[in-house]
Every structure is written in structure tokens, then in C-alpha cells.
Structure 1
């Protein structure tokens, strides 16, 4: 993607993210409908749906040749990664949104022919916007994020993980995970994959491990991590797939090999 085109798309996306964030904060002052999807803990609200519809309309009106992959059903049927694709989670961390009124984010990853060009993760209640443009670094608001430290070991690492440690009918070896918890400096779980990616990019966590993320959960974060010199792969070591759910390890490269010793499937 040409730099001028990328910048124009980025400016559009940034404007829409701030506008959507303001709408979400306004919605939170009123009662809203809460539904469930795949299970009683898989929540969706009318705010999720309205926010994704807002982005879908903006994208189609401004960039009609672009495609959209979204969580809430306003996207296109995308079968390959050709062209420009917006991958959007309107509210990543819906359970936090419902129960805590914090620790949730708008997540947008924009790809061209499978290459990450633009990433935005907006921590709505903190009013913190993480951004990344391919080859231009990553930012927290106006502050450029440094490259990740080259002096990190498991023993000094903060490890993010969630409670879902199974995928494709396989379970992670719990004893190995328990050993990781013992060996690292500490563990965290924020309930928003987008924010956990952002925190790894910022260097306030050193890795994030999870066994089941959809593309809209990691699309923006993947680009941020690339721009600060980190690594994101499936737990098998294979590249992530933008069109399916994935296991995910995203981390400081310095601990990747050691980290894989703790990820073993039964």
C-alpha cells in the first residue's frame, strides 16, 4: 500500500474510532439490551451491534471497494485475503463492558493482500489510542513505543493468559502451564485480547498466551506487535490465519523459545 493512501485510510479510521468511542460512552449512561451468543458467557449488546454497523456504513460509503470482517454480522463473506480488508471488533471485552464499565476496546486491523498495514486499539474508558502503521512504528496516543527490550527472561516476565486453555478438542498440559506460572514473575488476565496485545506492545507485559482467538480479536494487535519487534504465531509455531480462529502466542522475541517449552498439548 502506498504511504499516502495508507495515511488517508488511517486518518479516516482514527476519526471514526474516536467518534465510535464517544457514542459508546453515551450509550453507557442508558440501559441497553444484553444477549448471549454461543454460550451464557458469550455476551453481545445492542451497543456492540450499533458500533459495528457504524463502522460498516462508514467503510462502505468511503471505501466501497474495501471488505469487512466483523464479529457482529455486518461484514462481508470473505473467503480470501485479496484486496483491502478491515477486521473489526466493535467492543473487545464485552463482559468487561457489561460488568465493569472499563477494560474494553475498539479494535481495527486493516490488511492489504494479507499484510498488516494499519492497527488501532482504543481503550475507550481510559481514552488511550494505540496505533501502528506498517514500517512507521507503534504509538500510545502521541508517544512512540520503543522496540521491545532485548533483556527479558521468563523469570522476569509478566505473562498474560486467559482461562480458555483448550482448542480443537485438545487441552494444554496444565502441569506445564502451572510451571510457567511458578517460573514467571507474575500473570495477568484483563479480559480483552486487544488490550493484552497492546500491553505487550507497550512492554508492560512480556507475552500473552491464549488458545482460541478470532481474527477480530488479534488483527490490530498483531500489527502493533510487529512494529515494536515482537513475535505473534500460533501455539504450534505456524503463522496466524486471518480467516479462522487461532491459538496465539504473542511475545517479546527474547522469550519465545523458552515460552514454547511450556505449551504442550495432551
Structure 2
């Protein structure tokens, strides 16, 4: 079956890319900036994306590709089979810490997520899902997500929500943070999403992410019954930037209706 082959290839290529990244740790990085001084890209980001794209083009020349570093196609729709790639999600962590980053890939067919892979390179943890067949952490099948209450929830969030110049209703987050059991920030959307899938955190909130940040993680979370939307509770647009709320069932509705529904996101 074609999808089983794609699934196998994707995991094989991600594993190989991760090995190449680990071998770069003792080498000097070529670090550049993109939109601002904190938006980093390295030669390893670019090489990793180019490596994965070469593999895709070699085996699936008719598939389309959206990549963070711009080596893919210019897309105006998600028609057909589309690979959405983030070669290193958490580049700042990669540069400064050599940990807390991941390779993320989502493979979509006509806008529907079919395969999701998020690979924590340093810890050799591969989170992966094939639509309708469950989600796994390496070879271990992950259980369906259970409901959670705010008072017992650990919420991962992007700390930039506290910055007033972002013109968001950051004050609406204060009651949520106060009522939750605790908050965390890891600096990588892909890992924070799969931490929800694995039950390590109960929800994740961020702003203005790109499709490659959430495409892979969304497939994994949704396969386990988690909810993935923007902060208005709407379905994500995988061609544009959007806000993001990922949460266990029940908790997602509570966060939207009791904390975020009056915000301008």
C-alpha cells in the first residue's frame, strides 16, 4: 500500500537526518538570522531540509513540499499529497543548548493529515502516527488521551504572550495561568504538541506559528483524541500562520469558553 510505504520512508529518512544532526554537534555552525535577530537558521537546518526533500523527490516526484527554509514548492492549496517539513523546530535551542529541538514532518492528502512524525533527536524519541492506526512513541503505542481539569493541568505556553506590543489580549491569560497547576515553556512547538500527546503536559498555547511548526504534531495529537485549533477554536489553516491551542479533550473546551473566548487572537 502506498501510504504504508510513505510512512516507512518518512521515518527512515527522519532517523537518518537525526543521525546527521547529532554528528554536527562538535562542528562550528554557520548561524544566520531571518526575520529578526532571534529568528535563527543554521547550515544544519538547510542541509536537513535539502536532504529530506531530495529523498522525497527521488521516490515521490509528484508530491508537493512545504519546507520552512524555502527549498520546497510555492503552494496555493493542499490538493494532492503534501509534505510539510520543519527540519529543526527549536533552532534557538539547537544553537544554544544542543537539545530541546525536533525534526517535524506532516504528510497531508487534500488537506487531511495522514502521517505525523516528530523526532526528538537528542533523546532518540520518535513520536509518530498514521491516521486511523494509532500513535506511537518509538515502538510503544500511546494510549488515548483522557480528560483533564484546569486545576490539575500543566500548560505549556510560549512566553511571548506577555508582550503587550504583540497586540493580543495577554491579560486574558493571567486567570488561566493562575488557575492551572503549573506552566512550562520548552521553546519548540513540535515537542510541546507531542508532550500533550504523551501526557507530559495537558495543553499547549502559542501565537503566530507556521504550518511546519504544527503539521506533524497535529496528526499525532488528533489520532489520540486531542483537540487542535487556533485560539478562536477554529480549524487551523495549513497554508498560513495561526495561533494554536492543543489540549486534551474537555480541557480544550474549558480553555476556549472560560478563558479565551473574548480575546482578539
Give the TM-score normalised by structure 1: 0.95
Cα separation, 1, equivalents of 2:119 and 2:62: 25
Contact 1:166–1:211 (CA under 8 A) maintained in structure 2:
no
Q: What secondary structure does 2:126 align onto?
A: strand
Contact 1:210–1:248 (CA under 8 A) maintained in structure 2:
yes
Q: What secondary structure does 1:187 align onto?
A: strand
Contact 1:53–1:74 (CA under 8 A) maintained in structure 2:
yes
Q: How does 1:230-245 map to 2 (within 5 A)?
A: 230-245=226-241
State the Cα RMSD in Å. 1.4
User: What corresponds to 1:56 in structure 2?
Assistant: 53
Note if 1:180 corresponds to 2:176. yes
Gaps of 5+ in 1: none
Quote the offset at 1:166 in angstroms. Answer: 8.5
Gaps of 5+ in 2: none
Q: How many residues align?
A: 261
Quick check: 101-110 or 203-212, which moved more?
203-212
User: What corresponds to 2:263 in structure 1?
Assistant: 265
Cα separation, 1, equivalents of 2:92 and 2:170: 25
Contact 2:146–2:249 (CA under 8 A) maintained in structure 1:
no
Cα separation, 2, equivalents of 1:170 and 1:23: 37
User: What corresponds to 2:111 in structure 1?
Assistant: 114
User: What corresponds to 1:160 in structure 2?
Assistant: 156
Cα separation, 2, equivalents of 1:52 and 1:224: 21
Note if 1:83 corresponds to 2:80. yes
Contact 2:172–2:263 (CA under 8 A) maintained in structure 1:
no
Write out per-residue CA displacement over residues 56-81 of structure 1, whole angstroms, 9 at most, x where no aligned residue: 11111110000100000100011111
Q: What secondary structure does 1:164 align onto?
A: helix
Quote the offset at 1:265 in angstroms. Answer: 2.7
Cα separation, 2, equivalents of 1:184 and 1:166: 17
Cα separation, 1, equivalents of 2:161 and 2:243: 9
Contact 1:104–1:123 (CA under 8 A) maintained in structure 2:
yes
Note if 1:98 corresponds to 2:95. yes
Write out per-residue CA displacement over residues 154-211 of structure 1, whole angstroms, 9 at most, x where no aligned residue: 00001010023289x8633233211111100000110000000110001111110111
Give the TM-score normalised by structure 2: 0.95
Write out per-residue CA displacement over residues 32-58 of structure 1, whole angstroms, 9 at most, x where no aligned residue: 100000000000000000000001111
Cα separation, 2, equivalents of 1:116 and 1:174: 31
Write out per-residue CA displacement over residues 1-41 of structure 1, whole angstroms, 9 at most, x where no aligned residue: xxx21110011111100100000011111111000000000
Q: What secondary structure does 2:8 align onto?
A: helix
User: What corresponds to 1:41 in structure 2?
Assistant: 38
- Cα distance, 1:57–1:166 mapped onto 2, change above 3 Å: farther
User: What corresponds to 2:197 in structure 1?
Assistant: 201
Contact 2:155–2:204 (CA under 8 A) maintained in structure 1:
yes
